[in-house]
Amino acid sequence: MNVKPLADRVIIRPLDPEQKTAGGIIIPDAAKEKPQKGEVVAVGPGKIADNGQKIEMSVKNGDKVLYGKYSGTEVSIEGTDYLIMKESDILAIF
């Protein structure tokens, strides 16, 4: 991918949602929720604080992350759907 996010933004490829429930019931496409898990595919250089100091990013390429249900901006790059969001919208790394 030749897209580089700016400042404290990251590009995330959403992971596929679960196809079955724990009890084995298959979930139809219309009932599936938006995924909240994804893999980081690109990371910006970091944010510049008010005092001019650079704040390093806590996530890196390849990290699996949890993010808010309606976080980020959906984009399609080379036929693949991605989310671009600020690092602060990421809730956890797993």
Which CATH superfamily groups domain 9-93?
GroES chaperonin (2.30.33.40)
pLDDT reported for residue 2: 84
d(CA 83, CA 12): 5
Phi-psi region of 91 (alpha: psi -120 to 50; beta: other; left: phi over 0): alpha
pLDDT digits (tens, 9 = 90+) for 40-50: 999 999 998 89
Confidence at 12, pLDDT banded by 50, 70, 90: very high
Q: Where are the chain's structural domains?
A: 9-93
